[in-house]
């Protein structure tokens, strides 16, 4: 057998293993990190393992449900607050953690998305990282919605019997910025960072939006969507929550799959500062201090799948001549310790693009 054939067979085998592992992890519900409780004032920031937490209570619907608006703001700690943001398209309030900028005056908006549980499982940036300290000296308004579990952060074609109405692209692109602009001094510049499930959607948001995103980043994300590998990964993540991915983008072959695949929309990303990060899945120093946790022991397959999809995205950007930055680490097993490093490393690309 020639070296080329052995290489192709090895790559195909690795991809098949990654698909199987991703499906197994997603459907089984494994791979969720645990975290200790954090002190806070004003709202509950307790943590839990799994997706059994009760949805966070929100303010009552407004008198005028046709326009996006902030219904209520509760203090958490320091410059961190929790805002209930009304979504007309989903007819509900979306709790959204905000990190307010340190100085008065206009600031850019950075949407920082959570992973497969949407933060509703109390797994995310607000619970497992020190992102407040990281952004403490950065003149930016950081918004992290607590919602969108298993939604792929997209506009679904049909309501789902289990996951309900999902119009997350509309919320993130139009409703959230409009509501925040009504209460905070924004300068019109925006960026988006996604992690794990939301990594691909962060790039898609920048590629397919009506608005310009100065920066977009995928941290250990899944930006390969419309290939057999990508469809398996998307279906597995949605199925983990009991949903049907066909309600999102239709059956295979529906144009919505390609529309939501950033690797097929690279030209529309030209002019956006792009950052990608992934690791090959082998646990190591980048996972400190999570050595010994459930995530550390079983996150390898998930990160391997992310790595394969991210490399595919990088190849598509290179082929299209689109500038981007890609940090592919030597080790990492889809832990928040890895994500925390990726967030910091992304800032050398995202921060200057936002002017923050």
The neighbouring-strand residues paired with 275 are: 217, 325
Alpha-carbon distance of 126 to 184, in angstroms, equals: 21
Q: Taking Cα atoms as reference points, which of 187, 59, 168, 140 lies closest to residue 352?
A: 140
The answer on pLDDT for 305 being more than 90 is yes
Largest CA distance in the chain: 71
* Token pair belonging to 81: 């607050």
* Cα dihedral 340/199/145/177 (nearest 10): 120
Q: Is 26:116 a contact under the CB 8 Å cutoff?
A: yes
Q: What are phi and psi of 310, to 5 degrees?
A: -70, -40
Asked if the model's pLDDT at residue 26 lies above 80, the reply is: no
Look up residue 263 and give its DSSP letter. G
Q: Is 244 exposed, middle or buried (0-12, 13-18, 19+ CB in 10 A)?
A: middle
Report d(CA 147, CA 121) in Å as an integer: 9
Range 285-292 average pLDDT = 76
Alpha-carbon Rg for the chain in angstroms: 19
Mean pLDDT, rounded, of the chain: 86
What's the pLDDT at 80?
95
CB proximity list for 318: less than 8 A, separation 6 or greater: none
The two tokens of residue 195 are: 């992690």
Q: What are 167's strand-pairing partners?
A: 155
- Looking at residue 121, its pLDDT comes to 86
Residue 8 pLDDT greater than 60, yes or no:
no
Provide the CA 57 distance to its chain's centre, in angstroms: 23
Q: For the chain, how are helix, strand and coil distributed in percent, rounded to 5?
A: 40, 20, 45
pLDDT in tens, 138-192: 999 999 999 999 999 999 999 999 999 999 999 999 999 999 999 999 999 999 9
Q: Calculate the CA dihedral of residues 237, 242, 245, 248 and round it to 10 degrees.
A: -110
Exposed/middle/buried for residue 104 (C-beta within 10 Å: 0-12, 13-18, 19+): exposed
- At 82 the pLDDT is 96
140, 110 Cβ separation under 8 angstroms? yes
- How much is the pTM? 0.88
């Amino acid at each position: 057998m020639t070296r080329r054939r052995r290489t192709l067979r090895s790559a195909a085998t690795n991809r098949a293993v990654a698909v199987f592992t991703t499906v197994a992890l997603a459907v089984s519900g494994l791979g969720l990190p645990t975290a200790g409780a954090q002190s806070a004032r004003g709202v509950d920031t307790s943590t839990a393992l799994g997706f059994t937490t009760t949805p966070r209570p929100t303010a009552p619907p407004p008198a005028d449900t046709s326009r996006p608006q902030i219904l209520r703001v509760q203090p958490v700690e320091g410059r961190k607050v929790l805002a209930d943001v009304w979504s007309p398209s989903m007819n509900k309030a979306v709790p959204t953690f905000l990190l307010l900028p340190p100085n008065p005056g206009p600031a850019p908006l950075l949407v920082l998305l959570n992973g497969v549980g949407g933060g509703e499982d109390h797994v995310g940036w607000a619970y497992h990282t020190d992102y407040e300290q990281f952004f403490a000296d950065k003149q930016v308004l950081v918004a992290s919605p607590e919602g969108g579990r298993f939604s792929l952060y997209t506009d679904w074609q049909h309501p789902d019997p289990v996951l309900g109405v999902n119009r997350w692209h509309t919320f993130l692109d139009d409703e959230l910025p409009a509501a925040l602009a009504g209460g905070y001094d924004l300068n019109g510049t925006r960026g988006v960072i996604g992690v794990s499930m939301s990594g691909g959607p962060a790039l898609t948001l920048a590629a397919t939006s009506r608005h310009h995103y100065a920066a977009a980043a995928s941290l250990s994300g899944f930006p390969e969507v419309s290939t057999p590998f990508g469809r398996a990964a998307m279906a597995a993540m949605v199925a983990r929550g009991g949903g049907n991915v066909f309600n999102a983008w239709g059956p295979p072959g529906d144009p919505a799959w390609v529309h939501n695949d950033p690797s097929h929309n690279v030209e529309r990303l030209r002019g956006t500062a792009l950052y990608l990060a992934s690791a090959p899945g082998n646990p190591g120093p980048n996972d400190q201090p999570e050595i010994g946790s459930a995530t550390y022991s079983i996150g390898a397959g998930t990160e391997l799948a992310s790595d394969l999809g991210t490399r595919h995205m990088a190849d598509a950007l290179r082929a299209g001549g689109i500038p981007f930055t890609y940090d592919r680490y030597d080790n990492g097993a889809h832990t928040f310790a890895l994500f925390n490093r990726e967030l910091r490393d992304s800032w050398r690309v995202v921060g200057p693009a936002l002017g923050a």
